[in-house]
Copies of this chain bind each other. A is one copy, B any other.
């Protein structure tokens, strides 16, 4: 056999070029984001019985025009410009349609990055409803060994709302920085296996500013949330996901989560699922916490999370107010502050779960954008979701 392999023909690069050093770079992420378990050890949670249905075309929707700040563009063109891998749209709980890039087979799972935070928060809400989890407790109530860390005087609420006054910056170039140690501890970058994620988190220190004042988006908080729900319940995140979310939701495919050297789930970003199952989560939230006629998470928790809770002042002091000028962040979900009442989960490289309560539309979009963060594209994405949710 000489010449290109089947893999090279399909993806344009060799499998061996996708490693821990390269997997989040373009073009490798067009494959790796659907195959994270080949790069990072992962726990798999089985689907509910039944399996997934067939793909449904979105039809002529692709040819319809959407207006952006810079002009108008067809839906199909924008999906490509925003490096979409997979898309599912629901309206009123019914499937509108799916779209998949040629490199993403329908039914494939895809990493959702920081929407994992929003999913983990649902577990926290469920445990809160069961009386097992108190968002107003100090972190040290559940994790006594956090007493020497930034979390020593932080509340669970600070963790849930990203208002921990955490001294942590994304310093890409210093291999001894906390950021580099963080990446290694999650096994997402080369060189991991000597410091666990939990051990790393407990070394983080705080800023002088009191907790609770400023929205500071720091992913380690959301890994801490995973440990908090494990401590509160005595169950692993994977077990909680299975029993309390995945099976009741009727998820049609597996969910997987990357784990560290001692099995701690990367709840800040390591979950992979299908666009359909992500949309099912959005629909459950739109329904106020029910799915298939069954309550999954308390309605009051959902209302607080997507509509009434969170601090507008803390959000204004943060760095993401440009995206949602009237927004808030509550329990790892974004409230857009739009008249539509839209709320969403967002992950780097273009992962979105957008829910528009007014039009009853849920949009799950998974992507392989080359840049982890792209502020200008994010503004277009929000315009796109608002428009799309009135078009279908």
A387 contacts the other chain (CB 8 A) = no
Among all A-B residue pairs, the 5 with the closest Cβ atoms: A16-B262, A15-B263, A5-B234, A1-B234, A6-B235
- The residues in A between 18 and 72 inclusive whose CB is less than 8 angstroms from any CB of B are 18-20, 35, 37-44, 49, 51
**Subset of 11 A-B contacts with CB under 8 Å:** A6-B234, A6-B236, A16-B196, A16-B264, A17-B262, A18-B263, A37-B41, A40-B41, A41-B42, A44-B44, A190-B193
**Cα–Cα distance between A51 and B47 once the two chains are bound (Å):** 12
Residues from chain B with a CB closer than 8 A to the CB of A42 are: 37-38, 41-42
A191 contacts the other chain (CB 8 A) = yes
Q: With both chains docked as a complex, state the minimum distance between the C-beta of A16 and any C-beta of chain B, in angstroms.
A: 4
Question: Given A38-B43, A42-B37, A193-B191: A19 and B262 within 8 A (CB)?
Answer: yes
A322 contacts the other chain (CB 8 A) = no
Residues from chain B with a CB closer than 8 A to the CB of A230 are: 5
Question: Given A15-B263, A261-B20: A1 and B232 within 8 A (CB)?
Answer: yes
A239 contacts the other chain (CB 8 A) = yes
Could you tell me if B1 and A263 are in contact, using CB atoms closer than 8 angstroms?
Answer: no
**Cα–Cα distance between A239 and B11 once the two chains are bound (Å):** 14
* Cβ-defined partner of A235 (8 Å) among B5, B43, B132: B5
Residues from chain B with a CB closer than 8 A to the CB of A3 are: 234
Could you tell me if A233 and B1 are in contact, using CB atoms closer than 8 angstroms?
Answer: yes
Q: With both chains docked as a complex, state the minimum distance between the C-beta of A12 and any C-beta of chain B, in angstroms.
A: 15
A142 contacts the other chain (CB 8 A) = yes
Could you tell me if A16 and B193 are in contact, using CB atoms closer than 8 angstroms?
Answer: no
Q: Which residue on chain B has the smallest CB distance to residue A239?
A: B6
Residues from chain B with a CB closer than 8 A to the CB of A17 are: 262
Could you tell me if A236 and B39 are in contact, using CB atoms closer than 8 angstroms?
Answer: no
Could you tell me if A236 and B44 are in contact, using CB atoms closer than 8 angstroms?
Answer: no
Residues from chain B with a CB closer than 8 A to the CB of A49 are: 51
Q: Which residue on chain B has the smallest CB distance to residue A44?
A: B37
A281 contacts the other chain (CB 8 A) = no
Could you tell me if A38 and B6 are in contact, using CB atoms closer than 8 angstroms?
Answer: no
* Cβ-defined partner of A16 (8 Å) among B18, B39, B190, B263: B263
Residues from chain B with a CB closer than 8 A to the CB of A35 are: 43
A160 contacts the other chain (CB 8 A) = no
Residues from chain B with a CB closer than 8 A to the CB of A295 are: none
Q: Which residue on chain B has the smallest CB distance to residue A261?
A: B19
Interface centre among A196, A236, A263, A264 (most CB of B within 10 A): A263
Q: Which residue on chain B has the smallest CB distance to residue A36?
A: B41
